[in-house]
Chains A and B, each alone.
Chain A
């Protein structure tokens, strides 16, 4: 019985596997069909855009699978440099230490960070009429000299300012800190995890101030600020009120247009990058980045981002080779 069984296995299994091995292989694949996986990880800021790009790219190349996960710009860098993902989404400038470790970056779009306050803030109207200048933001987030709302608005109010920031290593906090001349670790305040987390904390506390990426401060469908949030206008010329050319915080389209024409400075507006470890080699990854820099830009304005200047896009394409 055993011998019969062995003979059966020998003459059945082995030739079968050999036959299948021979008949599968590269000959079965079509040469033009783009296949593979592209994995992205990183900034909350780029997440909605990356998801949109992934959707549209898949329509053209159904054989490519694209995975996107958020976790902060820092996570994107670490994951990319460790080889765990193909592309890191980074919402801040790349540090020299990261370039030394092999980071290769290309700018793909632009967005910005805006300061926020609660919709239940008792001084909401004052805030929106006067705006806050960079100096006041520094007093709130860096030096801690602004302890009460009187220090912030000069309206005699004794209530304390509740300052919030981000706990995870992220581009939004780094960019906001860069606007105030420092680094993320210098920002004061209770640190909350993630963009949505910070928005939530500000909504729930009437005396809170925080900051968010544009796409987390504004509702994607209505393009107005999130329910329960007011975006604090930035008094750029320090004259104590929000002039006509500084008044662009009421809808998402207004702020993106302002960033495009340079009315909102960079920082807190900034380029968003795709980072890979060295020049990208995988065909799917290269094609994806190339598409993002060319045809993908068409989807940028509707998703709430600012299209990059053509020179920067061409620079990126040249870098890609």
Chain B
């Protein structure tokens, strides 16, 4: 069957020979978008410059284009690493002001947080961060791992393609949605739970923060754990099963043992996510700058400190420097755990080879 005329046009549009048409059309569309955003003058100037570059590009040799593309992409690859370094440097620069007038020991270990009196003890926030993260991991790790094991070893073939997207959907929900849901459902739950334990809690507590955080961390751990389980070769499982082991014995003695390091990496990645999660936690955690003594106490993790008091930065001397120091501490902690996970994963891969 001969191609219809419009098919030929589209094909020409998309093929190499049609690249002129392609470029021109792209240029025209881009031009009108720019006009809508920036007005006639600027768009015309931009298109003029772009058109000249395109013209120039047509005149280069194939080899020249290859060299240019390689250098350009190399530059782009360096950008993320450079950004992290820039962030670290910038935060340290801003934090220098407070490090110059207060010893780092006092800043990290004092629990007095009274910025307008110049007291910037970060201990309550460190304790709050650790408490919320610990609670979240205690809840999330068993559930995520068992879910991953079920999906990988037990689930019927039909279930897997449904379950994966649902888990990934959880990862895609915005943080503030979790926060609102937490305020509506988790906070009253914690309040009632506290009454069961004969203590009082307003519901805004470490436990509430931990529960919300755990749900946000599920997809991370499940995803990585599933990847790790799928990397265990099927032959090992078959060998165990053929010797008469039950599914669970296979899982315990073969799959988990083989993927032990990968599981650790998955958990550590989840931990990094838990450390940094801000909005959802700050809406349910109570935000009282005191070291929490029970999970029903309100707490104040580092990210919540930054998000809440971002507004006071300009108003009190040294406050912005103190907050930058807190941000730097948070960044270093997360970087540490990420590097740890990477090292473990690399070692696991090397051992598998």
Contact = CB atoms under 8 A, between A and B. Distances in A.
29 contacts: A5-B58, A6-B55, A14-B52, A17-B48, A17-B51, A71-B311, A74-B312, A74-B314, A75-B310, A76-B311, A77-B315, A78-B314, A97-B316, A101-B314, A160-B200, A167-B282, A167-B304, A168-B307, A168-B309, A183-B116, A189-B288, A190-B202, A191-B288, A191-B298, A197-B283, A201-B204, A204-B188, A205-B191, A205-B202
Interface string B286-324: 111000000000100000100111111111110000000
Given A78-B314, A168-B311, A185-B116, A190 B41 contact: no
Contacts of A186: 114
Interface in B15-66: 20, 27, 39-41, 44-45, 47-48, 51-52, 54-55, 58-59
Contacts of B59: 6
A160 B113 CA distance: 26
A258 B253 CA distance: 76
B142 interface: no
Contact of A13 (B51, B200, B202, B283): B51
B266 interface: no
A156 interface: no
Nearest to B191: A205
B174 interface: no
Contacts, number: 121
A291 interface: no
Given A162-B202, A169-B309, A25 B51 contact: no
A185 B114 contact: yes
A169 B115 contact: no
A17 B47 contact: yes
A318 interface: no
A221 interface: no
Interface of A: 2, 5-6, 8-10, 13-14, 17-18, 20-21, 24-25, 28, 71-78, 81, 95, 97-98, 101, 160, 162, 164, 167-170, 183, 185-186, 189-193, 197, 200-201, 204-205, 208
B311 A74 contact: yes
B91 interface: no
B56 to A, nearest CB: 11
B183 interface: yes
B298 A168 contact: no
Nearest to A97: B315
| Chain B interface size range | 35 or more
B188 to A, nearest CB: 7
Nearest to B184: A200
A17 B44 contact: yes
The DSSP consensus for interface residues of chain B is: helix
B58 A6 contact: yes
A7 B96 CA distance: 60
Contacts of B44: 17, 20-21, 24
A6 B316 CA distance: 62
A190 B286 CA distance: 5
A168 B308 contact: yes
B20 A77 contact: no
B204 to A, nearest CB: 5
Given A185-B115, A190-B202, A9 B51 contact: yes
A35 to B, nearest CB: 10
Contact of B314 (A17, A97, A205): A97
A67 B191 CA distance: 39
Nearest to A28: B40
The DSSP consensus for interface residues of chain A is: helix
A158 to B, nearest CB: 13
3 pairs of A and B residues whose beta carbons are closest in the complex = A74-B311, A24-B40, A169-B311
Given A74-B315, A97-B314, A191 B286 contact: yes
Contacts of B47: 17
A245 to B, nearest CB: 35
A190 B51 contact: no
A164 B183 CA distance: 14
Contact of A21 (B48, B52, B310, B312): B48
A240 to B, nearest CB: 29
Contact of B283 (A20, A164, A193, A204): A193
Nearest to A192: B204
B311 A73 contact: yes
Nearest to B286: A190
Given A21-B44, A204-B188, A77 B311 contact: yes
Contacts of B307: 168
Contacts of A76: 311
B55 A191 contact: no
Contact of A167 (B287, B315, B316, B317): B287
Contact of B298 (A14, A185, A190): A190
Given A10-B55, A167-B287, A204-B187, 20 more contacts: A6-B55, A6-B58, A13-B27, A13-B55, A17-B51, A18-B48, A20-B40, A77-B315, A97-B314, A97-B316, A98-B314, A101-B314, A168-B309, A185-B116, A189-B288, A191-B288, A191-B298, A200-B183, A201-B204, A204-B188
B308 to A, nearest CB: 5
A8 B21 CA distance: 12
A190 B288 contact: yes
A98 B315 contact: yes
Contacts of B20: 5, 8-9
A232 B47 CA distance: 63
A6 B54 CA distance: 10
A98 B113 CA distance: 21
A14 B48 contact: yes
Interface in B156-197: 183, 187-188, 191
A191 B311 contact: no
Contact of B310 (A2, A78, A98, A192): A78
B330 to A, nearest CB: 18
